[in-house]
Structure 1
Amino acid sequence: MSAPREEPIALYIDADACPVKEEAYKVAFRHHIRVLVVANAPLMVPRHPLVERVIVPAGPDAADDFIAARVSRGDVVVTADVPLASRCVAAGAAVIAPDGRPFTANSIGMQLATRNLMEDLRSAGAITGGPKPFSPRARSEFLSALDLAIVRLKRAGFRPAPPPEAG
């Protein structure tokens, strides 16, 4: 395994429909991790030196492309988008769904196949309706999964962001 990179750990949030942004901020602040909140429309983010709001042009994959082009080993990505998760896993990032499910090199192939099958079934009219409502349990599992991912990166030698300059 190669040595950790020089840049500190970054947390990328695919933010347009992310139900756990507030939870992600709490975990990131506790671990002193830089957060990039990526969306294609303006949204509210905390005024905090560790948080950067990134507004990308409108387009179906603009936020995904921004994240995938920048993420690398030692970063964490929060997304429900399976194709984006696949790209980020390939880049070496830790990737977590908003319900706490990890996307890994071992699971991403099956997750992509399942997503594609469900998309085909929906377009054929065999399945209607959307995902089940987001539960408090999913929120709790996300908090645990994100905390664990960051702790593992720190144990592997990746570092948090430096403290902000006093001034």
Structure 2
Amino acid sequence: MSRVFVDADACPVKAEALRVAERHGADVIYVANGGLRPVDHPLVRMVYVPEGPDEADKWIADQAGPGDVVVTADVPLAAKCVATGARVLNHNGEAFTKANMGEKLATRDLMADLRAADPFRQGGGKGFSRADRTRFLDALERALRAIAAQ
């Protein structure tokens, strides 16, 4: 049975992940440092990791593997999970793959350097849109179908 791991602390598509997983009978594991309301659903498992940097990421990376889907915007976590054979999706439906991981890591590092060079920079990236949510739903549906077809 497939599992969908959700890096849940700041994930805007938790409910959508569960909705798609239900159709496929996939377990959903929400992983967070805390502050996440419990979900009473037979397919859902809540995992609360200790406070600390990257504790949720470490837990997910240790658990995920082939046949699993990981939902995260964390690029280093995505790289670890792709290396284990898991399918990895960003909240906007963009897939992290072996083919694009190098570029994603380089872009992340470049953006961190740019932010460090200008501490007065205001604002962030673009907001999360309805189109992003739709792309995520479609991408997760395709990922779970591909896993089931294997």
> For the superposition of Structure 1 and Structure 2, which TM-score range results when normalised by the shorter chain?
over 0.9
Give the corresponding residue for 2:130. 136
Q: Which moved more, 1:78-87 or 1:35-44?
A: 35-44
Give the corresponding residue for 1:3. none
RMSD over equivalenced CA pairs, Å: 1.0
How many equivalent pairs are there? Answer: 149
Give the corresponding residue for 2:140. 146
| 1:47 partner SS | coil
Give the corresponding residue for 1:85. 78
Alignment of 1:40-79 (within 5 A): 40-79=33-72
The separation in 2 between residues aligned to 1:135 and 1:114, in whole angstroms, is: 22
How far residue 131 of structure 1 moved from its aligned partner, in angstroms, is: 1.9
Note if 1:19 corresponds to 2:16: no
| 1:95 partner SS | strand
| 1:12 partner SS | strand
**Following TM superposition, where does structure 1 have runs of at least 4 consecutive aligned residues deviating by more than 4 angstroms?**
none
Give the corresponding residue for 1:160. none
Structure 2: where are the runs of 5+ without partners?
none
Larger RCO, structure (CA 8 Å, separation 6 or more): 1
Which structure: larger Rg? 1
How far residue 60 of structure 1 moved from its aligned partner, in angstroms, is: 1.1
The separation in 2 between residues aligned to 1:30 and 1:47, in whole angstroms, is: 17
Specify which structure has the higher proportion of helix: 2
Measured against aligned partners, the alpha-carbon deviations of 1:20-73 in whole angstroms (never above 9, x if no partner) come to: 001001001111100100000131243111100000001110000000001111
Asked if the contact 1:122–1:128 (Cα under 8 Å) also holds between the matched residues in 2, the reply is no
One-letter amino acid of the counterpart of residue 115, structure 1:
R
- Among candidates 3, 10, 21, match of residue 28 of structure 1: 21
